Amino acid sequence: MTVKQPDQIEAWKAAELIARRELKAQDLLQACLDKINERESDVQAFAHLDVDGARARARALDNSPVSGLLHGLPLGVKDLFDTADMPSTYGSSIYAGHRPAADAGTVAMCRAAGAVILGKTVSTEFAYFSPGPTRNPHTRGDQPAHTPGGSSSGSAAAVAAGMVPLALGTQTAGSIIRPAAYCGIVGYKPSLGHVTLAGIKLLSRTLDVAGGFGRCVRDAALLGAVLTGDHDLRQLDQRSTPRIGLFRSPSWPQADTDTQAAWEQAQAVLTQQAACRDVSDPAGFGDLVALQKEVMAFEMAQALSHERLVHWSGLSHQIQQLFEIGVAVTGAQHAANLALVRHWRMRAEALFEGLDVLLTPSTTGEAPAGLSATGDPLFCRSWTLLGLPAVHLPFAKGRHGLPVGLQLIGRHGSDHQLLAIADWVHQRLKV
C-alpha cells in the first residue's frame, strides 16, 4: 500500500496496517520524506535529518517481526533529547555538533518499540523563549509568517505539516500545549513524574515533563503508552457520561475573541452531551502564574549553571534576562516557593470535586504573527506547576484561519481517564 497523503493517515492506523503487513514502513517513510521535500524549505521544522539511517531502519523493520507499538512509525525527536546517532544541540550554538554518548531514556524506549527516528526537530534555545527558524505550517505563500509556538516548535510543526505522524516534546511552562494549539494538532503532557527525563537537557526539576504530539487523541495515547510504559492508555472507550468542569481561569480576561468563540462553541456542544458545570477560581489560584515563573527562573539558572557561567556571551538576551531573575532568588525564597507548590498540588484535588476533567483555554488565541517570539504560555503555567496531565484539542479556526482549540486537564495520575474523555470530547467538537 502506498501512502499518498501522509498528513491524512493517523499514527495508530498506520501502526495497525504495518502490523498486518498491509503497509510497509518504507512506504510510510517515503511518504513522509516526500512531504519534507515539499514543505521543509518553508516550515524548517528539523535541526537534523538522518534520511539514510531512517531508510535502513525502515527496511530492517519490514523484514523483521513486529517489535512494539511504534513498529515502522517515523518519529521526530525534539532537539532537547539526547540521541546517540545524531547531534543534540538543545537549540543553542554553544552545543553545535555535540554528539551524546547515549540516547535519552525516552528515545531508547521509542526505538525499542519500533520507531523510525527520522530526525531532530527544532527547539527554542534551551527550550526557553528565543525562537528558532521554524514557521507555522498553516501560513503559506504570501501570508505573513506566524510562530508555531515553543519550545517544541519543530515537533509540532512537523506533525502538523505531515512530515511525521508523531513527535516528542517537553513542557516546563507551555511547550507542548501551546505549539499543539498554534499548529492545530493534539498535544499530550503526561502527569508529572510519569515519564523518565534521563538524557533530556534538564531545565527545572520541579516542572519538566516529557510528552508528545499526534494528529488525534489516539495517536497521542499510542505515544504516551510507550513513554509511560502503561499500554492501557491506548484503551479509549468512554462508556459513562463525562463530568466536565468549565474552568475559564483567572487569566480569562487575556483570552481574545477567537478563544472566547471556541469556548462558546465547546460549551454549547458539551452541555448538551456531557454533565458540565462551571468551576470558580479558588482563592489565590491566580498567583500560580507568578509562582511558576519564579520557580522556573531559579531552577533554570541552576540547571544551566555551566552555560550561564562559562558561555554567557553565547546566550541570547532572553535567556540572559531569565538567568538574572533566577540568580536574584535566594535559596530560602525558593524553599518557600516549593512549599507553596506542594500546598497547591494537594489543593488541586478540590478542583475536581464531583468532576472527571476540567476544560480550560490552551492559549490566548491564534498563533501570533512574526517569528521573533513564540507566544504566551499564560494558560499553561498553572497546570504545569501543579503537575497535572493535559491534552490540547484542536477543533476551531480563528479570524485569520489559523487553528484554535482548548485543553482538558485531569487529576494527577488520571492520564488514562483524561485521554479517554479527551477522545470522546474531540469526536464531538471537531464535527
Active site amino acids:
78, 151, 175
The Cα-based distances of 207 to 113, 195, 300, 420 in angstroms read 27, 12, 10, 25
| 325 three-class SS | helix
Cα(386)–Cα(349) distance, rounded to whole angstroms? Answer: 10
What are the backbone angles phi and psi of residue 214, rounded to the nearest 5°? -150, 180
C-alpha grid cell, residue 207: 516542572
Cα(368)–Cα(402) distance, rounded to whole angstroms? Answer: 10
Residue with cell 525534539: 78
Whose CA is closest to 417, among 282, 258, 230, 251?
230
Full DSSP string of 174-186: STTHHHHHHHTSE
C-alpha grid cell, residue 392: 490540547
Dihedral angle over CA of 147, 127, 327, 194, nearest 10: 130
Angle between helical axes of 415-429 and 257-273 (0-180°, round to 10): 100
